[in-house]
Every structure is written in C-alpha cells, then in structure tokens.
Structure 1
Amino acid sequence: MVKLCGHCGEQRAVLRRPKTFEQLCRECFYTALEAEVHETITAARLFRPGERVAVAASGGKDSTVLAHMLTTLNRRHGYGLDLFLLSIDEGISGYRDDSLETVKRNEAQYQIPLHVYSYKDLYGWTMDEIVSQIGTRSNCTFCGVFRRQALDRGAALVGADKIATGHNADDVAETVLLNIIRGDVPRLGRCANIITGEDSPLPRVKPFKYTYEKEIVMYAYFKRLDYFSTECIYAPFAARGFAREFVKDLEAARPRAIVDLIRSAEQFRVPGRSSSSSSSSGGKAVVLPQAGSCERCGYISSQPVCKACMLLEGLNKGLPRLGVTRTRKTHKTPAVGGPVAATAAQLAAAAAAAADLVAPQAAGGSGTTAAPQPEPGLQRCRISSRLQEQTGAASVQPCGTCTSPLQPAVCCGSGACGGNALGSLEAGGAPEADPPAADHSAALAGPGSGGSFAYLQNKGAIASHPSARHAAQ
C-alpha cells in the first residue's frame, strides 16, 4: 500500500522525519526543512542585515547544503547578507585537492565568490608533511587546532563579520559526548551554543544545530546537489569516529536521543566559585579558564601561548610531540635538605657529564676521528628534563652550562629546564631546530618577528593572496 504525504495528502511519501515521524513527500520535505532552518536562524538571531558572512565550505554534504540553503533563504526572506565561500586547504593529497574542485563548482552554481587559504600559506606546513612527522595517532589534534584558527585568519583577511559552519545535530551530539568522556567541563558548558565567540570579532554560527544528518543527506540527494562524499584519509584514526558510532546506535534505539543530548548540554551549568555552591554540590568548584590573547600571535587563548603556536613550535624545531604529549604533574617543593638537595647534586653531575659529552675529543690518543659536536643546549636540556621526571622535583633550574650560541632559556621548546622558552622568543632569542626539519628551516622567524609562528612571518605574502586582493578591490 502506497503511503501518501501526511502534509499535502496528494503525493507519495518518500521519507519519515526522525524527530517528528511525519511521512512527507519531496516538496513538503523541502518546505519543512527550510522552514525549520529559517526558524532556527530567526529565533537565535544569527544574522543581522548587511553582514558579510563566510560560509565554511569543505565540499561535503553539510557545507554544500548550507551554502544552497543560505543562498535560498537569503533571497526568499530578505536577510540582506553578503555571502561568500571560505575554504581551507589542509594539504591532504587525494582528499582535499579533490573536494576543492567541488567547492569551485559550487561557486559557479550559487554565484557567490570563493576564497581559499592553505595550511602551507598560513603555517608553512601541509597535513601530509605533519603526518609524516607526528604519525597518525595525534594528527587530528594538529588539524583541528590549525583549521579552527585558519578559518578565523582567512575570514579576517577578507573582511567577514561572521562565519557560518555546517555543524549538524549529530556533530553537536558527538561533541557533547566526547566532552563528557574527557571530563572537559569548560567545553561542555559551551559546545552546544548555537553562537560561539559572541564577544570576539568573528562569531561562529550553526544554522543546522537542530538538523539531523539524515535529513541533510536526503535534502542533498533529492535536490541533486553537487557535493564530495569521500571521507578524510586520516579520519579512521580519530576518536570522534567511536563517538559517532555510539550516537548512531542511540539514534537507532531512540531517534530523539540526538536532540536530547543537545538539550542536556544546553541545560548544563558549571558549579560556581563560591564556597556555598561548592559545599552544596558536594564537590570542588570549577574554575573556568579566562579568555585572553596569545602573547605571540594575538589569537584568542586561555594560555599565554596558544595551542597553535605551541604545536607549530614543536614542528619547526623537530619536536613534533611538543604540545601533544601530556607531561607529568610536578609535586610540591619538599623541605630544604631533602630530595631537592639530591636533585641539585644530580644536576651538577649531569652538567659535568654533558660537558664531557659535547666537548671535542682531543687529537691523538686512540687515533679516532672526533664525533660531530651536538648542539650544546639541547643535549643538556634533555638531561635536565629526564632528571625532573625521575625525581619529581617541582622545578629544575637551568643547568648553568647552557652557554652561547644558545641562551639558557631557549635551549629547547619543552621548558623542562626551568626556562620560559616560548616567552623568551619575544626578547629576541631565536632557537635552532633539533634537528632542522627538512624544507622548513625558513619557517623559523628571526628576532622581533613573532617567534616561529609562520602566520606572522608570511603575513605580507598572505596579504597579497588573490583572495585578499579581491576583497580589497
């Protein structure tokens, strides 16, 4: 028996909506989904007339449907938006280069301009090069941090007022679940927000926050939209994949589970800082990090140095695990005369041993050729770092023998020797690579140029990028 559309009662129903269980035909489905997205936009006041909105375009189903729908609703309801596509080329061969061709076709189909920026332009590295250094275990950490910042950089260069992303309800539910698993209270309190960064120059909005992925796929299929459906070649190694499978299992048992996860995060409240709230909740009050600016690149960060600068520093110095691997928590400083005294003695012995290790061998003797002399500061700093882990000392002072050409505070990027390696770069210190990364030695900036952050070094080149020139014209 043929089921008719539950709305018009004339056409044959082609799908049942997972949230409302309505049996709808194609045309009624288009109308219902577009009306739902329009209601989300107006209820949350995502846009204001005259705003220049960057649509984050990857070529996938979500961004393609977002570009199509925003273009349609903007014309139908008179939003008065200046829309354009913004794509980030991560440098993943066989994936991003193909998807960008789809985005270029979308530019012609929707008659809105396209601006493309690459990791190579912004950071001096491609994701393929990063994976060759870090492996497939933590590559999504680099890509996530760099992509988030690259979107902001690209949007700022072309004068955008907001960034619209294609995150759907399934994506938000997965993020909520991941933050619960990690126990990441600060992110759990804001991950379900439909607008993020409201107090920043470039807020991000999610028009598809309550739209199921299934409906987006069906909309793209029925509308015959041109999108790229191949998954990232590094995605199988991401933790999000396991959360996605779990959310799909929940949806199969209870279709409303996705929206319920989002509503739960919306109702989540972080315990206050007062003692009364701590005692009433039976646990410690959560102290949320305060948003500030990275002292090196100026990007928003809750730490003195943002995550992107830290990761890039490790790549450029041949220490790709820097900023990824968790370090041991240091213990409180013991009483004088206890383990600290022993640690100081160990450091002195280690410094003497390191001096013997890096000193050039005397001519003659065994007749062997002198071994190549390693960079002095780096070798000694590693010894100090190992001693710190073994002894659990609260802090390890610079070894005292880190002399020219490397300053004690910049002998490595880990900061384990007690010096503030990253902070001292602003004072003019220029760390050497350990060992120099092939084809990336030029990414290390000189004194006064913002350390080794490639965005600051390449700022002039990026400003002359065709997208930036087009925006200026």
Structure 2
Amino acid sequence: MENKLFSPGERIAIGASGGKDSTVLAYVMSTLNRRHNYGLDLFLLSIDEGITGYRDDSLETVKRNQIQYGLPLKVLSYKELYGWTMDDIVKMIGLKNNCTFCGVFRRQALDRGAAMLKVDKVVTGHNADDIAETVLLNILRGDIARLSRCTYITTGEDGPIPRCKPFKYTYEKEIVMYAYFKKLDYFSTECIYSPNAYRGFAREFIKDLERIRPRAILDIIKSGEDFRISTTTKMPEQGTCERCGYISSQKWCKACLLLEGLNRGLPKLGIGRTKGPHNCGHEDTNLGSGTNSIESKQCGSLDF
C-alpha cells in the first residue's frame, strides 16, 4: 500500500514463466482485482527463449493459467525477435556465458512485449531471495552504481514502461507454501542451463547464511537499500541504440552487441564491459536489415 504500485484503469502485464513466483503473482493479482474492483486490465506476457525440454513445457503451464485466471496471453520468442533460440546460442558458445545472452535478451524482450501490449507497467515475480542474490552479485562485481537501484520495488520509471516487483519482501519458501496450499498449477523444473549460472553461487551462499541467521535475506536487502552512491559514482547517461532504437548508454545496446557477435560467428564480442560498436573492429553498414533486425521497436529502460 505504501508504494502505490498501481492505479485504477491501468494496463498491467504480468511476466509469466509458468514457475511458482509468476503463477502465484498472476493468481493473487487476478483474485484481488476481481474481489476489490481495482479496475486493472491484466495480461500475461511470456517469453519463449527456445530451450527444448524446458520452456516448451513451462509454456503449456502458462496456457493453462491463461484459462484458469481468464487473462489474455501474449508470447514472444527469441527466434521471432532476434533470429536465435537459446539452444542455437548454446550450440555456438557452449555452456559458459549463456546466461549473459539469455538475461539481456529476456529483459529486452519483456520490454518489447510490454510495448506491443501498450501496458502502463510490467510486474514480475522476483521475490526476496532473488533480490538478495542480486545485491550480493552487484557487490561481488563491484557494480556500486547499480547496488542501490537493484532493491527498488519499481524500476524504469525514467522510461515509458516501469517494472514492479510486488514480492520484494516475500520469501521464496512463503511463495512455495502458498502455491502448495492453494493447489496452484505451476511448473517446477529448473532451467537445464541454469546450473552453470554465476547467480547459483550467490544463491547457495545466501542459503548457508539463512541457516545460521534466518533474517539474512531481509538484512541483505536492507543493506542494499541503505547504500548511498557517492557523488563520483554515477549511472551512465541514457540515450538510444543507433541500431535498434532501444534505450542504451552506449552507441549500441547490449542486445545488439551480443547479436552482432552471434551473427558474425564471434560470440565473445559482446561479453564483458564494452564501449560500443567501435570495439567490433568494423562498422556494419547494413545493421537495420535482415531477419535479425530489431529496428523501430522502441521501449523503455531495463534494470540491468
């Protein structure tokens, strides 16, 4: 209530993966919307990364949720937006760094899907455990500028489509228990590529801390909220990508850098900290053409 996340009449896209978090979020929002006449126009928005044996199965759960909750569903695929599936990307680059590609493409795809639906906000099922992991990861990476922002309950307010995390203070185990006792239909299999994710190490560390100190997760979030960015540490000024028009602090957005590397057979091109297209060795004079172009799909900022 304090954060006033929604207003009557707003169009809200719920990021739906079929997992416990997004399923509980869709159930709670649709139930409260009907019960209290909030007047929200709710949609389910799913991203198909193209992971055989994982995402195809989880999308079947989302389609059942669509019927169960009576919400319209929009599905966007990496193949449709970028010309690549995650299976294709992993075949090219191997298991290392595949989560970098998936994370960048997925966050941008959510924004593009939200723009297509013409929604006012996107809500995601990130819970307290997820946010604590992000705080720890930003510390480990030395990314002080993003450390405080990653704990905001609403991000992207500088862009046309803000993103909200209503479960910011909700433990993962509470969501699991709620889904179990409500007998909700959700998909519980882990992504086949996630065991190689760097985030997994942060998750295990936090679980170990929680065994010793049950409040560890909320304490980490509170610490992230209390960090103050020094005057010498500033977020880069946001502009737009010269290639696709997406918001970016460099000449090219991260998705375009990664996509360019894939299309040129140089998948490591966009990995790590880059300064823009001049690092690619040459300028591509036909960046806006071809099936992999994402030109003219404008949308707002992301919580990278």
Give TM-score, length-normalised by structure 1.
0.60
Residue type at the aligned position of 2:99:
C
Asked if structure 2 preserves the Cα contact closer than 8 Å seen for 1:296 and 1:450, the reply is no
1:110 is the counterpart of 2:57:
no
1:246 is the counterpart of 2:205:
yes
Structure 2 CA distance for aligned equivalents of residues 303 and 189 of structure 1 = 22
Shift of the alpha carbon at 1:77?
2.6
Alpha-carbon distance change, 84 to 415 in structure 1, aligned in 2, over 3 angstroms: closer
Aligned to 1:163: 122
Aligned to 1:276: none
1:74 is the counterpart of 2:74:
no
Alpha-carbon distance change, 326 to 184 in structure 1, aligned in 2, over 3 angstroms: closer
Structure 1 CA distance for aligned equivalents of residues 64 and 213 of structure 2 = 38
Structure 2 CA distance for aligned equivalents of residues 149 and 101 of structure 1 = 23
Aligned to 2:302: none
Structure 1 CA distance for aligned equivalents of residues 88 and 165 of structure 2 = 31
Shift of the alpha carbon at 1:183?
0.5
Aligned to 2:187: 228
Structure 2 CA distance for aligned equivalents of residues 74 and 292 of structure 1 = 36
Of 70, 81, 85, the match for 1:122: 81
CA RMSD in angstroms, aligned pairs only: 1.9
Give 1:273-422 correspondences, 5 Å limit.
Answer: 285-324=232-271, 414-416=279-281, 421-422=282-283
Aligned to 1:100: 59
- Per-residue displacement from partner, 1:353-394 (whole Å, max 9, x unpaired)? xxxxxxxxxxxxxxxxxxxxxxxxxxxxxxxxxxxxxxxxxx
1:213 is the counterpart of 2:213:
no
1:52 is the counterpart of 2:17:
no
Structure 2 CA distance for aligned equivalents of residues 300 and 204 of structure 1 = 15
Structure 1 CA distance for aligned equivalents of residues 191 and 280 of structure 2 = 34
Q: Percent identity?
A: 69
Aligned to 1:194: 153
Aligned to 1:345: none
Query: Aligned residue pairs: how many?
Result: 296
1:456 is the counterpart of 2:295:
yes
Give 1:84-95 correspondences, 5 Å limit.
Answer: 84-95=43-54
Give the SS at the match of 1:44: coil
Shift of the alpha carbon at 1:195?
0.3
1:177 is the counterpart of 2:124:
no
Asked if structure 2 preserves the Cα contact closer than 8 Å seen for 1:52 and 1:160, the reply is yes
Alpha-carbon distance change, 255 to 152 in structure 1, aligned in 2, over 3 angstroms: same
- Per-residue displacement from partner, 1:234-284 (whole Å, max 9, x unpaired)? 000001111111111111111111111111111111111xxxxxxxxxxxx
Shift of the alpha carbon at 1:225?
0.3
- Per-residue displacement from partner, 1:415-452 (whole Å, max 9, x unpaired)? 44xxxx34xx4xxx24xxxxxxxxxxxxxx5xxx3688
Structure 1 CA distance for aligned equivalents of residues 196 and 182 of structure 2 = 32
- Per-residue displacement from partner, 1:30-54 (whole Å, max 9, x unpaired)? xxxxxxxxxxxx2111111111000
Aligned to 2:301: none
Asked if structure 2 preserves the Cα contact closer than 8 Å seen for 1:95 and 1:233, the reply is yes
Higher relative contact order (CA 8 A, sep 6+): 2
Structure 2 CA distance for aligned equivalents of residues 94 and 450 of structure 1 = 32
Structure 1 CA distance for aligned equivalents of residues 35 and 236 of structure 2 = 42
Structure 2 CA distance for aligned equivalents of residues 259 and 133 of structure 1 = 39
- Per-residue displacement from partner, 1:281-338 (whole Å, max 9, x unpaired)? xxxx2243112211211111111111000000011111111011568x9xxxxxxxxx
Residue type at the aligned position of 2:134:
T
Structure 1 range deviating more: 259-268 or 171-180? 259-268
Give the SS at the match of 2:2: helix
Shift of the alpha carbon at 1:202?
0.6
Shift of the alpha carbon at 1:78?
2.5
Give the SS at the match of 2:150: coil
1:146 is the counterpart of 2:98:
no
Asked if structure 2 preserves the Cα contact closer than 8 Å seen for 1:309 and 1:453, the reply is no
1:83 is the counterpart of 2:42:
yes
Give the SS at the match of 2:118: coil
Gaps of 5+ in 1: 1-41, 273-284, 330-409, 431-444, 460-473
Structure 2 CA distance for aligned equivalents of residues 414 and 269 of structure 1 = 33
Residue type at the aligned position of 1:455:
I
Alpha-carbon distance change, 451 to 293 in structure 1, aligned in 2, over 3 angstroms: farther
Structure 1 CA distance for aligned equivalents of residues 18 and 292 of structure 2 = 29
Residue type at the aligned position of 1:230:
T
Structure 1 CA distance for aligned equivalents of residues 290 and 150 of structure 2 = 31
Larger Rg: 1
Shift of the alpha carbon at 1:455?
2.0
- Per-residue displacement from partner, 1:146-178 (whole Å, max 9, x unpaired)? 000000111111111110000000000000000
